[in-house]
Structure formats: structure tokens, C-alpha cells
Amino acid sequence: MTIVGIPKAQGRAWYWLLVSLSLATSQSIQANSAELALLALSETVNIEQYRTRQDTDVYIEQFLYNYDPEFDDVEPAPLPFIEQQLIWLLDTRNSWSDWVADTGSRLDAYFAGKQTQSFSNTSFLRVRLGPTYRKQGDHDFTPEIKFKLNLPLTKDRYRLIIENDPEEGKSLYTKTIERIKGVADENNDTTGTLRIISELQKNWTLSNDIGIKFHFPPDPFVRTRASNGWQLNSDWYTSIQASLYYFISEDLGASIVSNFDRQLSTTLFFRNTFEAQWSRDHDKFEFANSFNLFQELDDHRIIRYKLATLVESKPHPFVSDYYYETTYRQKLYRNWLFFEVTPLLSFPERDDYQVNPAITFKLEVLFTKNR
């Protein structure tokens, strides 16, 4: 396809962009007309027919990458054909889910006894498979596997957490590329962490972690995080999370993330996210700003439109990348089998800001007892 007045390479890029927008438009026309509010704007005020504020991030994260098994979404309509065709997948998935949950329960009982019986077991295993196709035949089919074993110890504010692929120590650019590709760094490590959670004044939450990164040689670390949220007015809500970490390997870093949220309609939600990060290892500041529009088509389908910019401070302040992506995500079966497609237009500095189109397909399976 050639667009008049536009170079061939950029013409292909605009073609992908038009395809993604056409998909969004056609899906929107077919969307359920019932009022399915995406979320509310306050964690203290419940608006009729709207989700509570605490469900907001959980809802978005459950649909886009960051799974929270405590969220109980609406069950989809029965899909007998899928169930008949995927008997092996169902049995395997259920067996693994039982193993993940039972492992957490056994360790809960060992460490904390009966007092943890009423706590939610948020242990999970997530597997994402699918190809990424880029310009000039650069393809990738690397699977992504993420797990988390969350064990309450003695009291609700003490937790033992074992997980792979922690974000501390990674540059903001690396984390962004991983999000775009949907694939973790090949050198990701597993960490074991003792977390102490405290409720401070004026709705501030503080967590302090003492842990170790499991590689050779082992790398102990400490980390602290503080978070809060405020209702600015009837339309806008903002939240902030600040963190500071230190690894014995002399990697010291800090980051801050702020969100500005607004409910536009019963099916549209806007979020502006700003991130800033510094690390002694990389010896520079990094900044990212993104505008996100979430469109809920029905109980099982959602689209995210995202426009983002990355800026680095050294050797001089410059834009390292800016990109536009559209992510269409559909729940195929219950709350644990998903399909996702993401067309992307990236303009990285390393390519002299030439357009770098890509498209990613993902099939995601969640293993956890709650699903």
C-alpha cells in the first residue's frame, strides 16, 4: 500500500496505524450498549453503577499485563466449543493452578499457622506466548513467564514474597522496551523478600523490603516504597508512588510514578502517567510520559490507546524514543485465558527517529486457584 506524498516505509507505518484504528472503530460499534462503567474516581465514594476506586487499578492491570488474582470479574457466557476443544489445556491449567495455590497454602501454614487461614492467597503463575513482527524481518517468539509466591507471615502486614523479574536495577528504557515487546529481559533474576507494610497518617502506605536477588554471587538489597492517592475534584483523581532501593552490589536508585485519572464516560477512562527514575549504575535521569485511553467494549474486550515519550538526561537531555500503540485484549475463557494484539509505531533515537513499525500477538494463560 502506498499513500500519496508519503515515503514507502512511513506509508506502511500509517497503514498499521489505520488498521488498528479501524479495528477499534468496528469493535466499538458492536459494543454492548449497556452502561458498564470502567471505574469510579474515589476510593472513599462509591458512585452508583460505577466500580470503586480501589477496583480501578486492579481492573486495568488485570486486563493489561499486571494480574491481580483478588479481582473477581464478571464470568463470561458459556463457551462449550472452546471447552470441548481445549480439554487438555483446561486439565493442565487446573492442575498447575492447584499446585500453585496448594504450595502457597502449605507454606502459609508452616510459617504462620492458623491465623493466615482467612488471608487471600495471591500466588500466581502467568505464561504469555506469541510472536512479534518488526520492520526488516526482525521477528521474536520469546515466551514470558512470571510468577509470584505471596505468603502472609504472622500478621497481615508481614509478607514473604518470592518473584522473578523485579524491575529494580533496570533502566526506564529497558522496562519500556519489555512492556512493548511483552518479553522480559533474558538476564532477569528471582528475588526473595520480607515485606513489612505500614499504614501511615493521611492515607499514606509504606512498605519496607529486605531481600536477596538469587544469582551468583547473591545480591542482598533493601527497598522502601510509599504511596497515596487524592481526589482532586469531582472529575480528577491522582495517585503517586515513590521508591528507593539499594543493592549491596552498589546499585542505588530511586523512582517516582504519578497518575492523573479521569472517567470520561461509562466505557472510556483516561490516564496520564509520568515516571522519573535515577540510578547510580546508569548515572543519569530518565523520564517517561504517557497518555492512555482505555475503551471498554463489553465484559470481555478492552482497547488501550497509548502515546508515550522517553527522555534521558545524558550525555545531554534528549528524546530517546516516542511511540504510539493500540492494544486490543479479549478474554477467551473465564478469567484466565486471554488473547492480545498490539500494533506499534516507534520512533527511536538510535534509528534517527525513523519509523519502526511492529505488531505483537499474545496468548496468555493464568495459573491460580482463584480463577
Provide the pLDDT for residue 244.
94
Provide the pLDDT for residue 307.
96
**What does the alpha-carbon distance between residue 361 and residue 131 come to, in Å, rounded to a whole number?**
6
Tell me the pLDDT band of 88, cut-offs 50, 70 and 90.
low
Residue 138 lies in a domain: yes
**What does the alpha-carbon distance between residue 239 and residue 136 come to, in Å, rounded to a whole number?**
41
**Each residue's pLDDT tens digit, 169-216:** 677 777 777 766 655 555 566 677 777 777 666 778 888 888 887 777
pTM above 0.85, yes or no: no
Most confident of 15-19, 202-206, 312-316: 312-316
Which residues are CB-neighbours of 271 under 8 A, at least 6 positions away?
A: 60, 259, 260, 261, 262, 291, 292, 294
**Each residue's pLDDT tens digit, 114-126:** 333 333 446 777 8
Residue 117 lies in a domain: yes
Work out the mean pLDDT of the chain and round it to a whole number: 71
353: domain CATH number is 2.40.160
**14-23, 177-186, 331-340: the lowest-pLDDT one:** 14-23
What residues make up the domain containing 192? 8-367
Residue 305 lies in a domain: yes
Domain count, the chain: 1
Residue 3 lies in a domain: no
Residue 1 lies in a domain: no
From residue 221, give the alpha-carbon distance in Å to each of 192, 252, 258, 327: 10, 10, 24, 35
Tell me the pLDDT band of 305, cut-offs 50, 70 and 90.
very high
Provide the pLDDT for residue 235.
86
Residue 2 lies in a domain: no
